[in-house]
Structure 1
Amino acid sequence: MNHVLFVDDTRSADAAFGFGVNAMELLINGLLRLGADRRTLRAKVFGGARMIDGLSDAGLRNAAFVRDFLETEGIVEVGNDIGGTSARRVEFWPGTGRARLKYVSQEVPLRSPERTEKKDVELF
């Protein structure tokens, strides 16, 4: 499993995409060393959400990078969940190829100041 995150088109964007390619190559080569057959590799692609309104749609560009990479390498994409506005949590079982996706709530509960109590911190 790899996670790629490219956020913008700055001067360092080309280097960041190079890191993405490197991570994908390391994953594939690691699988091949463990006995995988390149012709039978399959991929599932998750993510690419637009998490914050008004910012660039970097998520879809990240997904496009992964899908282009897979196509170039001849790796079949057998499933995906791309886009939207919600964060995802992906659980993956490499032995079977099974993946489970859960959408993550973006709401963060705020504590009111009057309910906040000062407590000592114990470090161990």
Structure 2
Amino acid sequence: MYHRPLVVSHPQRRTVMQGQAFASDSVDEEFTTVLGSCVSTCLYDPEVRVGGMNHFLLAEPPSANPSAAIDVHYGVYLMEVLVNEMLSRGARKHRLKAHLYGGANVNRTMMKIGSINAEFARGFLTREGIVLMREDLGGTQARRVDFRPASGQVRCRLVEERLAPPVQPTTRPQKASGDVELF
């Protein structure tokens, strides 16, 4: 099987915001995001050289308030979306390699949202049989993550507190519509 060369001098950057998940096999693309208590999963299938990244705000909706509408901010939704995006581009679940980032508890006076998000993401990967290759989770500092989906290369850097995103979003993106295949 022929693979395109992976050398790219200046890839196109695509910012992955809260509530989003993208996948690509383009050597010219790089996904980037900044995380506080949120978590991003980077998935990669080395055989078909396709990768993807998501960015979720909270792990799961409160059990006391189940909603009929899908909320794109929850990991329970975005993890499935990311896996489905990967599969639609030729990836196979048994070959997926994962990296997890974020999950900081940036505000000491708030509930440990970052820790809850991190545990959810680890649990999801375990339940789905996806190998976790690396994680950089927890602490109190925000992170910037850059991911090249066609090569699986990831760079994670801590962000100075003064440059970190606010703990709570000022506005939430609109709720998603459409079909999601849960497996």
TM superposition score category, shorter chain reference: 0.7 to 0.9
Q: Distance in 1 between matches of 2:104 and 2:143?
A: 9
1:6 aligns with 2:58: yes
User: Which runs of 5 or more residues in structure 1 are unaligned?
Assistant: 109-124
Give the total of aligned pairs: 107
Which has more radius of gyration? Answer: 1
The C-alpha deviation readout for 1:8-63, integer Å capped at 9, x for no partner, is 98544x55699422211111111111111211101100111110122111101001
CA contact (8 A) 1:8 1:58 kept: no
Q: Distance in 2 between matches of 1:7 and 1:77?
A: 18
Letter in 1 for 2:57: L
User: Which runs of 5 or more residues in structure 2 are unaligned?
Assistant: 1-52, 164-183
Q: Distance in 2 between matches of 1:37 and 1:105?
A: 37
TM-score (norm 1): 0.76
Alignment RMSD (CA, Å): 2.4
Q: Residues 7 and 18 of structure 1: is their aligned pair in 2 closer, same or farther, counting only changes over 3 Å?
A: closer
Which fold has the larger relative contact order, with Cα–Cα distance below 8 Å and residues 6 or more apart in sequence? 2
What secondary structure is seen at the aligned counterpart in 1 of 2:157? strand
User: Which residue number corresponds to residue 100 of structure 2?
Assistant: 45
Q: Distance in 1 between matches of 2:156 and 2:56?
A: 17
TM-score (norm 2): 0.53
What secondary structure is seen at the aligned counterpart in 2 of 1:44? strand
1:89 aligns with 2:141: no
1:73 aligns with 2:128: yes
Of Structure 1 and Structure 2, the greater helix share is in: 1
* Identity percentage of aligned residues: 39
